[in-house]
Amino acid sequence: MILIADSGSTKCDWIAVDKTGVLPVQKIRTKGLNPAILNAENLQGILNNSEALKALQRTVTEIYFYGAGCGTAIPKALLKAVLEAVYIKATVSVNEDTMAAVYATITTKNEAGIVCILGTGSNCSFFDGNSVHQKIASLGYTLMDDASGNYYGKQLLRDYYFNSMPEELKEVFKNTYDITPDTIKFNLYKQPNPNAYLADFAEFMVNNKSTDYCNNLIIKGMRLFAETMVLQYKEELKIYPVHFAGSLAYYCQDEIQIVAKEFGFKTGRFVKRPIEGLVAYHTKK
């Protein structure tokens, strides 16, 4: 049995597949497993809290995990060790979420393209048809992640408290979330996954993007992402399209198209969750 996972910081999708490509169980969803933010105890707790995953522990022989926070050696090794401790019969492969985005958006053999992730976090890479190339090393949600869910969540909270949000939206925002100072500071500074906490607020922006405030906020963030990340690949942009993976990109396609036209690049495919593309990739192999 093969277990495939696509994880952001907020959610993780799991699918078990047998050697013939048959899916013996439906998609499993857990909290996200980001080893750059969560410790071993937190990671193992998420795995053990899923009865569906626990039921597969004796039958899984291979695990292919693709996730946020898995781009550098130390967190990657941490998550690999946790998975091996839980699934003692399995060989474990851990890769960063960039590869999941590539496998989901690049659908033709030897096809090349620029691949972006816009979900809880954000990233941008170039896939030459065989290998991934990154010009910017990600330093995480505090310093980077422009146009991500946590970026927009932070902007919404700042605008609310700095009185930059329109009054009618402030009232809706206040009635939708518990945004008392103590609650916000507790979740940001005393709880794991503060980036996922911030990203939860981005749903408000998407649901209200017909308003000038939210529409302008989305476009401002996408412009920043284009400037800091997409334009790192100026030569590649002359030839190849820019694909997008992640829920935020999927729901903000119109705004991304506006920014793409402003900056002169061509958009390609938009994929909400890469897990189906990962299943297709591994069953072909």
Q: What is the mean pLDDT of residues 65-94?
A: 94
User: Which is nearest to 123 in space by CA: 225, 264, 274?
Assistant: 225
Q: What is the mean pLDDT of residues 172-199?
A: 95
Which pLDDT score is estimated for 21?
67
Q: What is the mean pLDDT of residues 224-247?
A: 96
**Of 83-97, 133-147, 243-257, the least confident:** 133-147
Beta strands in the chain (DSSP E): 2-7, 11-17, 28-31, 62-67, 91-96, 113-118, 122-127, 132-133, 242-245, 267-271
Pick the CATH number of 2-100+275-284 from 3.30.420.40, 3.30.2310.20, 3.30.930.10, 3.40.50.300: 3.30.420.40
Q: What is the mean pLDDT of residues 257-285?
A: 89
Cβ neighbourhood burial of 171 (10 Å; 0-12, 13-18, 19+): exposed
Q: What 3-state class would DSSP assign to 121?
A: coil
Helix, strand, coil percent values for the chain (each to nearest 5) = 45, 20, 35
Could you give the CA distance from residue 121 to residue 131 in angstroms, rounded to a whole number? 22
Give me the sheet containing 91-96, strands edge to edge: 28-31, 11-17, 2-7, 62-67, 91-96
- Tokens 């890479």 correspond to what residue? 125
Q: What is the mean pLDDT of residues 238-250?
A: 95
Q: What is the mean pLDDT of residues 243-249?
A: 94
Could you give the CA distance from residue 252 to residue 141 in angstroms, rounded to a whole number? 20
- pLDDT tens readout for residues 39-70: 999 999 999 999 999 999 989 999 999 998 89
Give the confidence band of 109 by pLDDT, cuts at 50, 70, 90. confident
Could you give the CA distance from residue 140 to residue 123 in angstroms, rounded to a whole number? 10
- Tokens 């941490």 correspond to what residue? 78
Q: Is the pTM of this model over 0.75?
A: yes
Share the mean pLDDT of the chain.
Answer: 93
Domains of the chain, by residue range, sit at 2-100+275-284
